[in-house]
Structure 1
């Protein structure tokens, strides 16, 4: 799958997103920002890494930063999660990273009429999506881990 620029995606029309769970919370990201979803692999810790970085793992021959998504999003910790959503932010090898998630739910279309502005006022949260299953927080993956 080609990697797109999630910041360039507009809400002028329907947008495909990947819904996933971290703890009891549901989130989504623009599908074009996702390279692949894989099972967690062995990782090595990194000294002096930010608290949300679990370590690094090998992903198709590329050293990939493994991120504790729950800690990154300030909703606890999911360091035992077994699914990894892989993102590639550029052409450099160190621009590949994976978010640990507890569950991957589905790919779905988001209608802009169902998106409310983020009440959080941070740059990571794009908005709140109203779905038949409840509310989903739409987040933008960081441009780097």
Structure 2
């Protein structure tokens, strides 16, 4: 099965995604996973966290882990990015994540026929989207586990 096929083998439907920028690169993530896009607030550092976690902030009463998305995706580092893409928690017990991004571009629809398999083996990457504006890397949202 490929990204262009639904589980039953039928052609997949278009998917709405949120496009964002990290440096000069463009990425997208399924819009259904996104709760909100906010300006970054002050954060507190946390001990014993992975290198891509830059701290935590309060978001609507929930502790939200701030992730240096560029570091997570292996394309540099920008722990001072000003925008936060907040993701739905899988359930009430799951961790809420906020990805730090340089800029949020737009919500758009991806036609499965414009998606190519990623040329690199990475569990975070769903594929590469061909668009009139160039290439956009489609990434998986955090699982909250």
TM-score, normalised relative to structure 1: 0.89
User: Which has the larger helix fraction?
Assistant: 1
Structure number with larger C-alpha Rg: 2
The Cα offsets for residues 69-93 of structure 1, whole Å up to 9 and x where unpaired, read as 0000011111110000001232225
C-alpha contact 2:129 2:137 (8 A) present in aligned 1:
yes
Deviations 1:98-131 (A, max 9, x none): 0000000000000011000111122110000001
Say whether 1:117 aligns with 2:120.
no
8 Å CA contact retained: 1:118, 1:125:
yes
* SS of match in other structure, 1:44: coil
Segments of structure 1 that go 5 or more residues without pairing to the other structure are: 1-9
SS at match of 1:43: coil
The residue that corresponds to 2:63 in the other structure is: 63
Residue 15 of structure 2: aligned partner:
15
Alpha-carbon distance between aligned partners in 2 of 1:94 and 1:82, rounded to the nearest angstrom: 24
What is the aligned-residue RMSD (CA, Å)? 1.4
Matched, 1:143 2:139: no
Equivalent residues in 2 for 1:1-145, closer than 5 Å: 12-144=12-144
- Runs of 4+ in structure 1 displaced over 3 angstroms? none
After TM superposition, the score normalised by the length of structure 2 is: 0.89
Contact 1:63–1:93 (Cα < 8 Å) also in 2: no
What is the number of residues matched between the two proteins? Answer: 136
